[in-house]
Amino acid sequence: MGEPHWPQKRVPEAFARVRSSAYHESDPAPYLEINDFLEFLAQKDREHEAEVLELDRRHRHAKNEADKAQTELSRIADKKCGK
């Protein structure tokens, strides 16, 4: 949320530099820029996957607790009604 976003212009500019006739193969900067961006995306993907797994774990735990509460409520209601 409060994390910095990858500057959106850097990668397109790097691709443009690679495609341009002024590009020199001895200049690795555009490739490094693109590689850095791909690493950034991979890291964000890993973070997102970890967050999804944690949310899924929390959801299953909450559902389990709700099921326990419902079972207890049914038990109390049955007892009160004399079943």
Q: Tell me the pLDDT band of 25, cut-offs 50, 70 and 90.
A: low
- In the chain, the amino acid numbered 73 is L
Per-residue pLDDT tens digits for 43-72? 999 999 999 999 999 999 999 999 999 999
Residue-averaged pLDDT of the chain: 82
State the Cα–Cα distance between residues 41 and 15, nearest whole angstrom: 17
Residue 14 has what pLDDT? Answer: 74
Check pLDDT > 70 for residue 22. no
Report the candidate in 5, 29, 30 with the shortest Cα–Cα distance to residue 15. 30
The residue assigned the tokens 């997102």 is 48
State the Cα–Cα distance between residues 10 and 71, nearest whole angstrom: 57
**Percentage above 70 pLDDT, the chain:** 76
State the Cα–Cα distance between residues 36 and 14, nearest whole angstrom: 11
